[in-house]
Amino acid sequence: MARFAPGDRVRVHLAHPPGHLRTPTYVRGKTGVVERICGSFPNPEELAYGRDGQPARPLYRIRFAQDEIWPDYRGRAGDCVEVEIYEHWLEPFEGGRSEP
Amino acid sequence: MSEPGRGVHDMGGLPAGPVDRSEHDYALWEKRVDALLVLLSDKERRLLRVDELRRGIEQLGEAAYEDMTYYERWIASVTGNLLEKGILTSDELGRKMAEVEGRAAADPDGGS
Amino acid sequence: MSHDHDHAPPPDQDGPLSYYQVMETAVRELLIEKGILTADQVRATVEAMDARSPAIGARVVARAWTDPAFKDRLLADGSAACAELGVDMGPTHLVVVENSPQVHNVIVCTLCSCYPRFLLGLPPDWYKARAYRSRVVREPRTVLREFGTEIPEDVELRVHDSTADMRYMVLPLRPAGTEGWDEARLAELVTRDCMIGVTAPKSPPSH
């Protein structure tokens, strides 16, 4: 079922294909930690074009450190952004498991 | 300006001005647009997905984000999707829109 | 130069109908003529929309403040816990994120305007507009300051971007000085904006 578990470090694909995408540009290519598995949902990239979105894709909430996304971030170290990302946009990131 | 591969709606992290906290009450026609999507996408009908609505809005392009209001973009996308699916045709829409305009002109206070 | 007009739509009934208002009426009437939906269904859907307001979310928050077991269930499965209170959540998968003395949460949808509308009603204009959507993921402390909210340096700020199938609501910190208050009284302190996370709840009146 789900390829990743809470605590896994993952990297978001760095890609800019056309289509209806739910992966915001600002997290593409960035690494974060799986905060939770949200379940499996039909793929919106397919639903957007009138298809059924099957097979359903596992959806994760990924926690990104603000200073990972924005090197010039001026808030507190430890501030973060959490974004829902579908599994096919994620790849394992070596460095392994850390606490979410 | 816009980057290739980045839709105008995909705006997280881009520079922008201060938040304007003024609000407006939604007009009846705006709520009706919302209701059309709710009904067309419900379990009973399943004629239109939110994902299709959003794809349609995203395809309106940059100018639409600047020149159209929120529910104007919605109704443009709902209508575009209904045309693509063959649920409505341009011919019947054109005739009906002329009829609606004619009614409104004859009775400006009669609403729509 | 980008400029977002989301905050200033034209008034509804002054002057002739706009092109898109005409389109709305035409589409609605055609769908009714084709038997795809009925005028009553449109009316009922608008009425249901009008009936939803932040008072629903406030009731959920006040219950969580007074009933620890309910709060645990709310944090574990937001939609199921809201259903216990008779709140119709539709198809929404609700995630409730809890503020604490160490963590402050704030919600946005950078790609669109996703919002927990079954709990809060329709979103305010600023939630859907460019300034908030663009900036709150990158400079959240500055944006919150524009709402008059100062997050102390020792508090972690978490921004939740609702990009897909979850919807979020913030469970704010219960204000000090409300010991012994019942749910109805507590609910009056809970504003829409504090459930989005851009402000704190109202303070109890001081004596």
**CATH code, B28-106:** 1.10.472.20
pLDDT of residue B30: 97
CA atoms of C136 and B13, how far apart (whole Å): 8
Token representation of residue A30 = 């960035």
Q: Is the pLDDT confidence value at C11 over 60? A: no
Token representation of residue C112 = 């669109």
Q: Is the pLDDT confidence value at C178 over 60? A: yes
Q: Is the pLDDT confidence value at C5 over 50? A: no
Active-site annotation holder among C109, C134, C194, C203: C109
Domain region containing A60: 8-94
CA atoms of C80 and C84, how far apart (whole Å): 7
Are residues C40 and C114 located together in one domain of the fold?
Answer: no
Number of domains into which chain A is organized: 1
Instruction: Specify the CATH number for the domain of residue A28.
Output: 2.30.30.50
Contacts of C146 (CB under 8 A, 6+ apart): B18, B19, B21
Find, among A87, A78, A71, A67, the residue nearest to A11 by Cα: A87
Q: Is the pLDDT confidence value at C48 over 50? A: yes
Q: How large is the ipTM?
A: 0.94
User: pTM for the whole thing?
Assistant: 0.93
Q: Beta C156-161 vs C93-98: how paired, if at all? A: unpaired
CA atoms of C111 and B41, how far apart (whole Å): 20
pLDDT of residue C10: 46
Q: Average pLDDT, stretch C32-43?
A: 98
Q: What amino acid is encoded at B107 in this protein?
A: D
Q: Is the pLDDT confidence value at C8 over 50? A: no
Token representation of residue C199 = 């402000």
pLDDT of residue B63: 87
Are residues C38 and C103 located together in one domain of the fold?
Answer: no
- Which helix (H) or strand (E) segment is C132 a member of? helix C130-135
Find, among A20, A46, C41, C35, the residue nearest to B87 by Cα: C35
Distance from CA of A78 to the nearest CA of C (A): 6
CA atoms of C108 and C105, how far apart (whole Å): 10
pLDDT of residue C206: 78
What tens digit of pLDDT does each residue of C51-97 get? 999 999 999 999 999 999 999 999 999 999 999 999 988 888 999 99
Q: Is residue C184 included in any domain, yes or no?
A: yes
Are residues C190 and C158 located together in one domain of the fold?
Answer: yes
CA atoms of C102 and C83, how far apart (whole Å): 29
Partners of B54 on chain A (C-beta within 8 Å) are 20, 48
Number of domains into which chain C is organized: 2
CA B81-B84-B88 angle, to 5 degrees, is 80
Q: Is residue C37 included in any domain, yes or no?
A: yes
Q: Is residue A30 included in any domain, yes or no?
A: yes
What tens digit of pLDDT does each residue of C131-142 get? 999 999 999 999
Q: Is residue C207 included in any domain, yes or no?
A: no
CA atoms of A92 and C189, how far apart (whole Å): 44
Owner of token pair 């973009």: B73
What tens digit of pLDDT does each residue of A40-57 get? 999 999 999 999 999 999
Please indicate whether, in this complex, the C-beta atoms of C42 and B11 are within 8 angstroms of each other.
Answer: no
CA atoms of C114 and C161, how far apart (whole Å): 9
Owner of token pair 């102390």: C152
Q: Give every residue of chain A whose pLDDT is below 70, as ranges.
A: 95-100
CB A58, CB A43: distance < 8 Å? no
Q: Is the pLDDT confidence value at B112 over 60? A: no
Token representation of residue C13 = 């009934």
Distance from CA of C130 to the nearest CA of B (A): 7
pLDDT of residue C13: 53
Q: Is residue A65 included in any domain, yes or no?
A: yes
Find, among C79, C92, C105, the residue nearest to C166 by Cα: C92
Active-site annotation holder among C79, C82, C114, C194: C114
Active site residue C82: no
Q: Answer whether the bond into residue A55 is a cis peptide, omega within 30°.
A: yes
Give me the percent of chain B exceeding a pLDDT of 70: 95
Residues 54-83 of A with CB under 8 A from C: 59, 61, 69-70, 73-76, 78-83
Instruction: Specify the CATH number for the domain of residue C105.
Output: 3.90.330.10
Mean pLDDT of chain C, nearest integer: 93
Q: Is residue C13 included in any domain, yes or no?
A: no
Active-site annotation holder among C18, C100, C112, C203: C112
Q: How many CB atoms lie within 10 A of CB A92?
A: 12
Domain region containing C102: 52-196
Active site residue C113: yes
User: Does C157 reach chain A within 8 Å, measured CB to CB?
Assistant: yes
Q: Is the pLDDT confidence value at B94 over 50? A: yes
Q: Is residue C33 included in any domain, yes or no?
A: yes
CA atoms of C207 and C73, how far apart (whole Å): 35
What tens digit of pLDDT does each residue of C196-207 get? 999 999 999 876
Mean pLDDT of chain B, nearest integer: 93
Q: Is residue A100 included in any domain, yes or no?
A: no
Residues 7-46 of C with CB under 8 A from A: none
Distance from CA of B109 to the nearest CA of A (A): 39
Are residues C110 and C179 located together in one domain of the fold?
Answer: yes
CB C108, CB C133: distance < 8 Å? yes
Contacts of A9 (CB under 8 A, 6+ apart): A31, A32, A33, A92, A93, A94, A95, A96, A97, A98
CA atoms of C34 and A87, how far apart (whole Å): 40
